[in-house]
Each structure stands twice: as C-alpha cells, then as structure tokens.
Homo-oligomer: A and B are copies of this chain.
Amino acid sequence: MSTHRRPTIRDVAELAGVSMATVSNVVHGHAHVREGTRQRVFDAIEKLGYRASRAAKSLPAGRTFMLAYCLPGDTAPNSALDVFLHQVVSTASDADLELLLFAQKRADRVQPYAELLRGGGADGFVLSEIEYEDKRVAYLKERNIPFACFGRVDDPAVHWVDVDGASGIRAAVEHVYLQGHQRLAFVGWPNGSPTGDDRLLGFTEETESLGLEPQSVVRVINDFDAGRKAVPNLMDGSDPTAIVCVSDTVALGVMAGLRDIGAAPGADVAVTGFDDIPAASLTAPGLTSLRQPMDQVGALLVQRLVAQLIGQSAPNSILVQPDLIVRESTTGNGAASAEPEPHTRERNL
C-alpha cells in the first residue's frame, strides 16, 4: 500500500556517502571522479533504482527532454501512423527523449504549436503532412525552434525527410512496362499537393524516358469512389492496358471500376497503387504498390532533430526510396491462391 517515494538524488548521495553534486557528476560522466567514488555511487543508484526526475532536470536545464508530434486534425484513417510513431518513439528514446503527442483542434495549424510552446513546450518538433508554404514551418523557423519535417520543404535551411514518390512511380511504370504494357494511364490527385505533384512527375518522366507517347492523366480526389468513377473516362480514349495510380485508395477504386465495366484487374488491365496500405494485401487480386519505409522515415526525422539539438550539423534533406511490392494486380494471376508474401495482421487496438 505504502506508495514508496521515488528516490531522489539526495537519497543516493546519502547512501553512497557523498554529496549530491558528486552524484550528479557521476551520472553525467563528468571528469575527475575517483573510481572508488564512482563505483559507490553507481551501486547506490542501482540499489535504489534511482533515475533523475524529468521535471526536476528540466527546470535548471531549460529543456524538456521531450520531442513533440502533432496529430493531424482530420479523422481520415492513417494506416501507417502506428509504424511511424513507434519508430519515432523508439529512436527518440535512444537519445533519452520522450515523445509528447498533441492535436490540432481547429483549422488553424499553427495554434496548437504555439499553445504547447507557451506551456513548457518541447525541445523539438516532428512535423508531417507538409504543404506548400507550410505556416508551421515559418512559425517554428522564425522562433528558432528545432524541427524536422516529413515532407519536402523548399528551403535549404529546413531539415526534412521525404519519400521519393517520383522514383517510386518510375519504378511502377518500369515494372508494368517490363510486363509488356505500352499504353499506360495515370490517376493522380488534384494539383497542389507536394506529394501528388511529385508522384505525377515520376510518371511523366519515366514514360517519356521509355519513349512512350504522352499518356493520359486524370486527377481525382483521394477516394475509392473517385477512382472507381474515373475508369469509364479513362478507358474511353486511350484505352490503356495499365493504370498507375497515385495512391492505393484510388487504385482500389480503379480496380472496382474496372470490374464494373467487365474488365478483370490484373488479368486484363494492370493496376498499381502507392502507400501499400493494409487493404492492398487484403484483396484479391492483391494490389501492386509502393511501400513507404515509414520506419526509416521516423528514425531519420528524429536523428535529424537530435543532431540539431546537440548542435551537430548534418545534411538537411533526405529522400528515401519506397519499395515496389509486386502483387497480382500487375502479374495477371489474379486467382492465385498462394500469396507470395506473408500477410500482415490486423489487430484490435
């Protein structure tokens, strides 16, 4: 019952028969501590299970020993969040940092950051869902607060990590090309998102470089139905044999749309997506897609952040490559009952 008081540095000092200052020195590996003393202190620490309290450390240090991440405000499902967060937390923990989560409530994207900073804040921020001219970037940069972005930023001073969407799409195009497809189409997002624009760029670049004639491109919002409804238009003019999509959601819609008009995705028309969301492998035929290495991204972001915190310089921007995951939507054997790769599991939270 007696909730034992957490041991303080004073308890350790007394047990080891030294002053609090010495304990602090030992803990911080400061020079000039005699070996015997160091040992006694370590023993005491061990015995008491001592660990400096975050709050007490913060106060004199003027740092919080925490990073912060703002959950996006909308409620759209974000299937990669768990992997991403897990990696962010783990990497941060390696640098003895913890992760504070906060959320955007209103439309204002900057306000939650300002609010958090007023109340003690964090030592640095991980940003995601970067948009062109992102207000948050401007806000944090102006205040000299360390941050790292998941998503490219057009400012050489800003640290960012992004997935090379263009390169990913190029790989998808090359893949279907090697499967013998010559007439491709691209289903993209509306103009104006860094991610969408980048992926489209990959499509035009690669089809050109393969010497294919200009291919048809349609743009829809990121939505299953939008993809589904885009199919009739798409098959109208150019009559493509492969449809490269900007996202899995759209691609799955396209697959449904193909079935609506009596075409078999995978067998009659190849389809590729992007993101490798769980649904891509929970459907038959499985959807060929590009997996974003969210674990890498998470780790790199935190490393970037930590580098800033300890004043190290490091390259500011990094592009990581997505992996092409080939499934039956581009290989044709749609009814294959043997899945090539182990399926991921879905859990209850």
Interface flag for A56 (CB, 8 Å): yes
Q: Which residues of B contact A281 (CB under 8 A)?
A: 224
Contact flags (1/0) for A244-257 with B, using CB distance below 8 Å? Answer: 00011100110110
Question: Could you tell me if B102 and A89 are in contact, using CB atoms closer than 8 angstroms?
Answer: yes
Among B81, B119, B144, B279, the residue within 8 A (CB) of A279 is B279
Q: Which residues of B contact A66 (CB under 8 A)?
A: 100
With A346-B247, A349-B294 in contact, is A119–B283 under 8 Å at CB?
no
Among B55, B259, B349, the residue within 8 A (CB) of A55 is B55
A77 to B80, CA, bound (A): 7
Question: Could you tell me if A102 and B103 are in contact, using CB atoms closer than 8 angstroms?
Answer: no
Among B6, B79, B150, B292, the residue within 8 A (CB) of A118 is B6
Q: Add 17 more A-B contacts to A54-B64, A93-B105, A129-B347 (CB < 8 A).
A: A6-B118, A51-B120, A55-B59, A56-B59, A66-B100, A72-B347, A75-B82, A75-B295, A79-B346, A81-B82, A81-B349, A85-B101, A89-B101, A90-B105, A228-B337, A255-B284, A256-B284
Measured CB to CB, the residues of A under 8 A from B are 1, 3, 6, 49-59, 64, 66, 71-72, 74-86, 89-90, 93, 98-103, 105, 116-120, 128-129, 143-144, 150, 195, 221-225, 228, 247-249, 252-253, 255-256, 259-260, 275, 277-279, 281-284, 292, 294-295, 335, 337, 339, 342-349
